[in-house]
Structure 1
Amino acid sequence: MPSASRWLPIVLSGVGSLSSGCGSDPEPEPEPSYDLEALRDPETCAECHPIHHREWLGSMHAYAGEDPVFRAMNAKAQRETGGELGDFCVSCHAPVALALGLTEDGLNLDELPQEVQGVTCYFCHQVESVSGTHNNPLQLAMDAVMRGSLSDALAPDVHGVANSDLLNRNRMASSQVCGSCHDIVTPDGAHIERTFAEWQASFYGDPDPDDPERPAVYGLTCNDCHMDRSTGPIADYPGVRGDRSRHAHSFVGVDVAVTDFPDAELGPQLRAEQLAEITEQRKTSLCASLCVKDLGGGGGAEVTVWLHNEGAGHSWPSGSGQDRRAWVELIARDDADQVLYSSGVVSEDEAIAELDDPALMLLRDRIFDADGNETHDFWKAASYESNLLLAPDELSAASDGLTWRDNSYSVDAMPARVNMRVRLRPIGLEILAELVASGDLDPAVLDATSTFDVAPAVLEWTPELAVDSTGAVDYGSCVSSSPGCGAPALN
């Protein structure tokens, strides 16, 4: 049994504490004092997170409030609805400005400081809960605590820290945050942007059956594809560990800035960096096959193109499908290199949707107003028709096979060479032309819109390069993106 003398210091210490408490309570530790206004400014974040900040600055998140196409569409929509559209657009394009009561409809963004426009650091790292699946149902804490994926983050002088599954790429919940604005339903009920719903319907969105808060072993969250992982410090701050899993904040997707943002010096550099990352990401998006069958007897040839959404994680293309324009350009030539046949060939300033080409393979959505008339105006959309490359709904050969798409072309003579490529415009030129005509968009934006080729769906067929198809149907001889990236019907 311990002796009484062993407890004496503790007892005396307790008495001392009690006696000191008889006068006045001890002074509590002062609460940290944070500058909320400064914390909302991404430039504050750049002081400790310079790499994250530069990546973000080149992203469409940073550009969301500045984007002239968004500004033009919102202006036209507000005018045509008499302001009834309200915060429909700005809730995702400038959510912090909306939360602070600085705007109601986004028409005054030119009058607001840059730090409250776009999808900012403060917006994402303030998410406290998600109350729905589309049109930004995010609930923000609007405090000085920045939430993230670390459970042992070092708290700096400028903000508090907290761990959140909503900001953890290894948790299914993190995709809810992305999906909140990458899933849009119009006032008339048309589900015109379905990226989150497409992911949920695919096998990529399957949860782990033993731990539903995590993705399945073959699954992916949004951030697995759109926030590349590397190892290193995540802040330039004393005491920060150097072995963290750092996530890129460039948020690579389809779109790029069409003006020099944030300025004429840095804008072109950021655009080039973003385009390089987009090109790299697209290398795993599609698979393609190109087949040519000699019909014999001078009957010409049948050319077949096969496309597959190999790794997008959702439909391809995705996002505002009514604006996207992805298509197959195909050119068949004879021995003298003369063009025998072509489809999908347009100049850089020609709208593909207006091309008179019955054989055109065009991937896009169409939206219709309440009277069934096709429109480009999303605020009028009451229904839609979709013609995109779907992601497989389950991880199986059967599901994979069902999601290949083919298109056939009749060529009057047997070609010596056939070239195909998948081309992509983030938005149709005819849509931009309408915004220019209405006076809402600077014509320079139309001129700055780019057309991209999507590797590896860029193929050349010649008899020497091709191998015979061996499937149930004879498609002639074929070339594919790679031995493991060809149409299953060919074997």
Structure 2
Amino acid sequence: MKRALPLLALSVAACGDDAEVAQKALSRAELMSPETCKGCHSRHYQEWSGSMHAYAAEDPVFRAMNRRGQEETQGALGTFCVNCHAPMAVREGATADGLNLDELDASLKGVTCYFCHNVVEVQGSHNAPLRLANDTTLRGGIANPTRNSAHGSKYSKLHDREALESASLCGACHDIVLPSPPAPAPVHLERTFAEWQGTVFNRPPSQGGLTCGGCHMTGRDDVAADVDGVPLRRVHAHTWPGVDRAITDFPERAAQQALIEHELDQTLRFELCVRQLPGVASLHVTLENVAAGHHFPSGAAQDRRVWVEIGAWSGSSLLYESGDVPVTEAVTSDPDPALWLLRDRAIGADGKDAHMFWQVAELEPSTIPGPVSFDPKHPDYFITHLSHRYPAGSELIAGAPDRVSLRVHIEPIGRDVLDDLVQSGHLGAAERDAVERLELLPNRGKASVALEWTPSAAATPPLGFQKTIDAVPAACVTSSVAKAN
């Protein structure tokens, strides 16, 4: 039987005149429903409704992986997945494993308004150790909230993106350590919060720091509630763009796509150099993490696939290419020794690649760290720069390229992982195919590639410049002059 929670039919009225609705204060059960919040907080609701927080318990890939994990561990996973994907369902005792989500009321699925805004304490750094008040007071980032009869309101540094403490609220779920057993080892699988803690951004925003919300919850001047007399404030967007997007019919998909592309397009600086020798050449690519306050890729980096596609031409003749992977194929199956793939390689107890997190015994990270200093003289300044040579080893490209194009692709979850779930019968082929490949395009709308090299572009400052590579002058171009080296 579907578990239902009552809604207040006149919930909108509870945001109005205090005398009229004094006896209509919302109950905890009513506040647990995002639909109730919509009555007074329509824009926040709209933003949340298309976010991955709202989609967390609906995502077919999450459901497929959780179902397979419960089967393969004989239920030992328990609430591990739904602690973050449906935390209210766990806390209300409505699920023990996430296998009955279709039977639950919407107020118990996903990361809801009530769940976040009722947190009063973060009791650890990973696996969702959050303590809720379980009352009818909602916490937020406004220091002097307007009194209302719908619910109690209270300022909380945990909910204020301008307070350093707010990062710990995000980090509680965005940092995952595997339970062992059933996993073969307590691997620190998702490390976004830990990565951020090691960057220059881990300090109060008033001192130049940047919290999770500083990037993923942009600010605007607006009212916090659709009620007469509520003043303009600095409020936070509730969209949380990253790299994941709904793959089924879901609200705000186009808006989320645009936000995701905006975030991705400013994440990296690209540098492309051609080292020309008599009759032969080599290509040298540098990727610099300039905007992510954590590694890139991050989050479920064991599932992410980021790689470089590069092509070199002389006139209409293709001299060299790497990373041109059809969308129906897994990039991990590409035999090219020069392929540049960024991810956390997950390895099982048998030493082979592991696609399912409960099989992971260790990780081999290959991601780009976030900055620890903006001073080029700092010994760790260049940890944000990763470079790669084409072709692999000591091979060289025959000829003299007159055009080289660079593209950077990202799969939020790799085709190889999705294929595994399809083959096991836990995910449909149509759902797999709905997971779209993304691309980083700093000049989106103006250029179809991340960066293009030509002799004339390399000779035109400030984006064109010369540098020495292995004692040979190289002609280079960059996507941004700000941090060219």
TM-score, with structure 2 as normaliser: 0.88
The equivalent residue for 1:219 is 209
Tell whether the 8 Å contact from 1:39 to 1:158 is kept in structure 2 after alignment: no
Q: Give me the CA root mean square deviation.
A: 1.6
Deviation at 1:311, TM superposition (A): 1.0
Q: Can you give the 5+ residue segments of structure 2 that lack an aligned partner in the other structure?
A: 1-21, 180-184, 392-396, 443-448, 460-464
Residues 1:275 and 2:257 are matched in the alignment: yes
The equivalent residue for 1:477 is 475
- Which of 334, 339, 342 aligns to 1:363? It is 342
* Identity in percent: 45
Deviation at 1:389, TM superposition (A): 0.6
Tell whether the 8 Å contact from 1:226 to 1:251 is kept in structure 2 after alignment: yes
For residue 364 of structure 1, what is the amino acid of its counterpart? R
Larger radius of gyration: 1
Residues 1:248 and 2:237 are matched in the alignment: yes
Q: Distance in 2 between matches of 1:388 and 1:459?
A: 20
Q: Distance in 1 between matches of 2:321 and 2:149?
A: 63
Deviation at 1:241, TM superposition (A): 0.6
Tell whether the 8 Å contact from 2:283 to 2:390 is kept in structure 1 after alignment: yes
Deviation at 1:382, TM superposition (A): 2.2
Q: Distance in 2 between matches of 1:460 and 1:223?
A: 33
CA shift in 2, pair 1:176/1:275, >3 Å: same
Q: What is the total number of aligned residue pairs between the two structures? A: 440
Q: Distance in 2 between matches of 1:216 and 1:80?
A: 48
Q: Deviations over 1:278-319 (max 9, x none)?
A: 1112232100100111111x2x11110110111100001110
Residues 1:400 and 2:381 are matched in the alignment: yes
Tell whether the 8 Å contact from 2:272 to 2:477 is kept in structure 1 after alignment: yes
- Which of 98, 101, 106 aligns to 1:106? It is 98
For residue 320 of structure 1, what is the amino acid of its counterpart? A
For residue 446 of structure 1, what is the amino acid of its counterpart? R
Tell whether the 8 Å contact from 1:286 to 1:455 is kept in structure 2 after alignment: no
Tell whether the 8 Å contact from 1:304 to 1:475 is kept in structure 2 after alignment: no
Residues 1:59 and 2:71 are matched in the alignment: no
Tell whether the 8 Å contact from 2:467 to 2:475 is kept in structure 1 after alignment: no
Matches within 5 A, 1:14-413: 33-187=25-179, 188-205=185-202, 207=203, 214-215=204-205, 217-242=207-232, 244-261=233-250, 267=251, 270-296=252-278, 298=279, 300-335=280-315, 337-397=316-376, 398=378, 399-410=380-391, 411-413=397-399
The equivalent residue for 1:5 is none
TM-score, with structure 1 as normaliser: 0.87
Deviation at 1:400, TM superposition (A): 2.7
CA shift in 2, pair 1:371/1:356, >3 Å: closer
Q: Distance in 1 between matches of 2:101 and 2:29?
A: 18
Q: Can you give the 5+ residue segments of structure 1 that lack an aligned partner in the other structure?
A: 1-29, 208-213, 262-266
Q: What SS does the aligned partner of 1:150 have? A: coil
Q: What SS does the aligned partner of 2:168 have? A: helix
Residues 1:428 and 2:414 are matched in the alignment: yes
Deviation at 1:32, TM superposition (A): 7.7
CA shift in 2, pair 1:478/1:260, >3 Å: same
The equivalent residue for 1:24 is none
Deviation at 1:373, TM superposition (A): 3.0
Q: Deviations over 1:407-440 (max 9, x none)?
A: 1113221111110111111010110011011111
Deviation at 1:33, TM superposition (A): 4.6
Moved over 4 A (4+): 30-33
Residues 1:455 and 2:441 are matched in the alignment: yes
Tell whether the 8 Å contact from 1:232 to 1:245 is kept in structure 2 after alignment: yes
Q: Distance in 2 between matches of 1:419 and 1:34?
A: 58
